[in-house]
Chains A and B, each alone.
Chain A
């Protein structure tokens, strides 16, 4: 009876441990980049950085969110606000590949300019991308790179 219970606990623990490794990003540091310092200083005055910075948004959404925080009392200069927008819009962004212009796709996915332009041209010709696989069909797109950065891609 006791071993049975212990076994059940162990199995349960293993299942949980396994699931946690899937998202081990939890404790990873935020990526370095221009604006990171301003973001850390201004945002952490009110809340833990993980509250927002763990979630990816489009550039437009980050702009709204940052403005909303300023309206809620975040203390920053105009330069700091711009730097924070740039940082979040580059390193914590998701891009809608069915709507965004080439420069945004290029910046968020960190891919060559001509490939980003090809994505825009391809969708204009063949219609919206349904999923990652359909995006991989675009000439010049590196499937491996795309797979690595798939959490930065949105389709709607």
Chain B
């Protein structure tokens, strides 16, 4: 009798526990905290982590020079539910794997279409529907697969797929259009963004849409460029929305289920560096917006960069947490992006809990450009990235690289920078900090709610260039050019072939911010460059993309560096506890879960899936 009761109890409790120990969404939970309650791996034993299994590693990846930032085809964060790991594998597959062995459960081939870049979405289903995997493919479809079998769900859209291009790209048949990040779930809806061309203003509209999870029917649409009668319409030239594509919501959204709110990061307007044809504040570009998740109606907006001409798009998932001040608990959403500032915004209103100053900024000298007179700067926390550079701030400490940098500075006629939000000039080559890579970027933040800490990684990689009159026929009157060479890699203040920035270190940092005080609690360099280590220059930090996760075991995991390492830090102090080398940089976020064998696994995607566990 007693045994039966125990079994019954276990049957009731396990599903709840399972949810706790899975990684069922991109950001772990709908609010995107990326905090796991698992405690098997601790600060004491993390140094004993070993590779448990791998899947889909691309043998060609090891030969790629990560410094030139040849983009990987995958930046996936797999999903783990009930002992199964779901992930896209480049080029064209979606797979279900046993979470403790990496053995294939099912495989869905997409044909000519390529697999989603950042992962898939798990929907637990409801009374009438079995659990589903939803995935956005490179040809602009949203497909629904049965989570058990990997087969298309016939009742969803047309035979299991929605063509997202319909009603959007008819005027631009050659334009790329697809979901660049997994959609998010709110009750019976999946909410999707889009990505397409970024450099030029015309293109398919990048609106945000919500679809019924049962049928695939469109439920609501949010215009990233307001239409007539919508708030913010007057922040663009008249009728701008008719032909304009960007800004896009191409990053990850978060959901506050009890409040019925969805929070979206919105990217930059086009062109990236010249806004003469789009005078105005340009809402909702480079912003976080809060929508009523049931209707798509705008609740509030917070623009991080007004009239963006720096490519400072907001891409990181706005993460949810509670801040405690003067004994009062304030539900907030944490917004961070490339300019390097972090904002704690009240969830209901979008009002910052730390005062925000609209600070006067240097103005553009480029004909036709009207930069915003001010930009929002919070009183706290301080900037999380280098926001300027003085004329003599050139890297020293290793003669070969120092010489490269001094020669570079001579070639561009000296270092010209006016501090935060320095605009590009048509008269001189300027160096801009943060550059187009950030600062913080789509890796965003992880949060330990028990410590009240927000963890963020940030790179210091300057943009470099001058705005020159574009040739006749170009969509933009001015385009950014670099005297160092054509191509985006030359528009950086660095030795692009070796991935070494030209200003003093650190070149990337990992930081913990106390949400309750707004102070940076600790900061450490993130990454080290082998070529510098060999010459005795240690812990320079390494640029890259990707973010962190944190666990109740007190451990923070992060890759996100071009040094191809995967690391563990003590979340309370920032002490490095463990590192291992990967085949390729992990330009994504890790995840952790309990396997059916009661082992805690930590996974990072490099060119394929790498799973680590204690022996």
- B176 engages A68 (CB within 8 Å): no
C-alpha spacing A64/B64, complex, angstroms: 8
Min C-beta distance of B153 to chain A, whole Å: 24
Task: Tell me what chain B mostly uses at the interface: helix, strand, loop, or mixed.
Answer: loop
- A75 engages B60 (CB within 8 Å): no
Over the window 24-52 of chain A, the binary record of Cβ atoms lying under 8 Å from chain B Cβ atoms (1 yes, 0 no) is 01100000000000000100011110111
> Is A12's beta carbon under 8 Å from chain B?
yes
Number of interface residues of A (CB under 8 A): 39
> Is A123's beta carbon under 8 Å from chain B?
no
Point out the residues of chain B lying under 8 angstroms from A57, CB to CB: 68, 70
C-alpha spacing A97/B411, complex, angstroms: 28
> Is B72's beta carbon under 8 Å from chain A?
yes
- B483 engages A75 (CB within 8 Å): no
Min C-beta distance of B81 to chain A, whole Å: 25
> Is B155's beta carbon under 8 Å from chain A?
no
Point out the residues of chain A lying under 8 angstroms from B74, CB to CB: 71
- B487 engages A16 (CB within 8 Å): no
> Is B562's beta carbon under 8 Å from chain A?
no
> Is B364's beta carbon under 8 Å from chain A?
no
Point out the residues of chain A lying under 8 angstroms from B410, CB to CB: 19
- A73 engages B174 (CB within 8 Å): no
Select from chain A the residue with minimum beta-carbon distance to B412. Answer: A19
Min C-beta distance of B595 to chain A, whole Å: 29
C-alpha spacing A134/B65, complex, angstroms: 23
- B140 engages A73 (CB within 8 Å): yes
Min C-beta distance of A26 to chain B, whole Å: 6
User: Given A68-B73, A72-B195, A73-B195: A50 and B91 within 8 A (CB)?
Assistant: no
> Is A23's beta carbon under 8 Å from chain B?
yes
Which among B196-204, B261-269, B282-290 touches the partner chain? B196-204
Point out the residues of chain A lying under 8 angstroms from B138, CB to CB: 70-73
- A71 engages B63 (CB within 8 Å): no
> Is B429's beta carbon under 8 Å from chain A?
yes
- B199 engages A73 (CB within 8 Å): no
Within 8 A of A (CB), among B425-470: 428-429
- A64 engages B72 (CB within 8 Å): yes
- B90 engages A67 (CB within 8 Å): yes
User: Given A67-B90, A70-B138: A45 and B486 within 8 A (CB)?
Assistant: no
> Is A140's beta carbon under 8 Å from chain B?
no
Over the window 59-86 of chain A, the binary record of Cβ atoms lying under 8 Å from chain B Cβ atoms (1 yes, 0 no) is 0110111011111111100100000000
C-alpha spacing A75/B411, complex, angstroms: 38
Point out the residues of chain A lying under 8 angstroms from B60, CB to CB: 60, 63-64
> Is A3's beta carbon under 8 Å from chain B?
no
C-alpha spacing A68/B58, complex, angstroms: 13
User: Given A19-B483, A67-B91, A71-B91: A51 and B488 within 8 A (CB)?
Assistant: yes
Contact partner of A26 (CB less than 8 A), chosen from B70, B178, B486, is B486
User: Given A45-B175, A54-B487, A64-B60: A71 and B115 within 8 A (CB)?
Assistant: yes
C-alpha spacing A20/B481, complex, angstroms: 11
- A58 engages B63 (CB within 8 Å): yes
Select from chain A the residue with minimum beta-carbon distance to B61. Answer: A64
Min C-beta distance of A105 to chain B, whole Å: 16
Within 8 A of A (CB), among B52-102: 60-61, 63-65, 68, 70-74, 90-91
Within 8 A of A (CB), among B550-570: none
User: Nearest 9 CB-CB pairs, A to B?
Assistant: A54-B486, A54-B487, A73-B176, A55-B487, A71-B114, A16-B413, A68-B71, A73-B178, A71-B73
List residues of chain B with CB under 8 Å of any chain A CB.
60-61, 63-65, 68, 70-74, 90-91, 112, 114-115, 117, 138-140, 174-178, 180, 195-199, 410-414, 428-429, 479, 481, 483-490, 496-497
14 further interface pairs, Cβ-Cβ under 8 Å (given A23-B483, A55-B487) = A16-B428, A19-B412, A22-B483, A45-B174, A46-B197, A48-B199, A50-B486, A51-B487, A53-B487, A55-B68, A55-B488, A61-B65, A68-B72, A70-B91
List residues of chain A with CB under 8 Å of any chain B CB.
12, 15-16, 19-20, 22-23, 25-26, 41, 45-48, 50-55, 57-58, 60-61, 63-65, 67-75, 78, 99, 154
Q: Can you list 5 contacts pairing A with B, beta carbon distance less than 8 Å?
A: A25-B486, A64-B71, A67-B73, A67-B90, A68-B70
